[in-house]
Amino acid sequence: MTMPNFPITPPVKPMLAKPVQSVPANDSVTGGLIYEPKWDGFRCIVFRDGDHLELGSRNEKPLTRYFPELVAALRDNIPDRCVLDGEIIIIRDQRLDFDALQNRIHPAASRIDLLAGQTPASFVAFDVLALEDDLTAASFRDRRAALEQALATSQPPVHLTRISHSQTEGQRWFEQFEGAGLDGIICKPLDLPYQPDKRTMLKVKHSRTADCVVAGWRPHKQPGPDGEVMLGSLMLGLFDDAGVLQSVGVAAAFTQQRRLELVDELGGYALGEGEPHPWQAWQDPAAHEANRLPASTSRWSAGRNLDWFPLRPELVVEVGYGAMEGDRFRHTAQFKRWRSDRSPESCTYEQLERPVTYSLEDVFVSG
């Protein structure tokens, strides 16, 4: 993208946040803190120079072609020459819908146009890097004031995130807004300049644990040091009210040595010849065609290779997770420990804490 005489040009890596365990006090840093809702979407840097507008992702890849409806809305709602930092989200039934957002990344132009109409995206702005001039050296206090002025007349689907100077209100948002699909709170030092790719902000995210059935494992995308197949993630299940084991996500975060050890340890739980599996009915070999591995032959598909190994659902593992997206973990769960004291049948949805439903409309409204 060409932006003549403009101080900031893509790609730019966004400023990041480091995790803390609880909502910090306002006076815990010099100059004080601002509290913001933590939006669960695609982080996005918006670059605009007149009619030319570009959306850049957190990993510096272009998002522009996937959200044509948002490009049009931004042209109508943001200054002619600016660089904004924010989040692309999709709102359905007054909640954030991360699954629908992920589905928007599609190679086919016809599919992109269809989804732009069916599940239109919104943009939530929470920082500004440039307004004619470079603002990255300015304090967040001054950048926020400039952002409020720049978006004073903006209309949905372009939003300005709300802020608070109160730790008490930040804590309340942390507890309530999860019901609308948000996943925590961001805390920004008021004196902080914009520092791309630096973890200089703070974030507080929901953290919970659950006991899950291990029903299979996926190989790691890379082989071991001697070409061995390594475990990439454990496939997790929970029993629903009808007693059916449902897939809820995966657990990862293992060292290379542990990935190799787990392949051997889980071998004792591999399915025997003709032994059924709870997920056999919905297993579709075609869905794994692109990621097949030579070692992962399945009896369910007449010798065709799949990208996961089914196990007898006898092992129970405790995992850490942040939030649910429908009936599945929103993000990869973190392995905590094996639970030999728990039976697989005890791993049900009833153990999960469900946040009270909250409307996104109330999250957007300030004051």
**How far is it, in rounded angstroms, from Cα 198 to Cα 203?**
13
**How far is it, in rounded angstroms, from Cα 340 to Cα 217?**
18
| Cβ proximity of 57 and 218 under 8 Å | no
Phi, psi angles (nearest 5°) of residue 85: -115, 135
Token couple for 120: 């239109």
How much is the CA Rg of the chain, to the nearest whole Å? 23
Beta bridge partners of 250: 235
Preceding peptide of 11 cis, ω within 30° = yes
- DSSP class of residue 322 equals S
Residue 87 CB-density burial (10 A; 0-12 exposed, 13-18 middle, 19+ buried): buried
The residue from 38, 188, 203, 205 that is catalytic is: 38
> What single string gives the DSSP state of each residue in 161-216?
---BS-HHHHHHHHHHGGGGT--EEEEEETTPPP-TT-EEEEEEE--EEEEEEEEE
**How far is it, in rounded angstroms, from Cα 242 to Cα 225?**
44
Write down the residue that tokens 């809820």 correspond to.
248
Q: How many CB atoms are closer than 10 A to CB 289?
A: 12
Of 238, 211, 205, nearest to 335 by C-alpha is 211
Strands annotated E in the chain: 16-19, 33-37, 42-49, 52-57, 81-92, 95-96, 121-131, 133-134, 158-160, 184-189, 199-205, 208-219, 231-239, 245-252, 309-321, 324-325, 328-329, 333-338
Strands 52-57 and 33-37: unpaired
Known catalytic residue: 38? yes
Active-site positions read 38
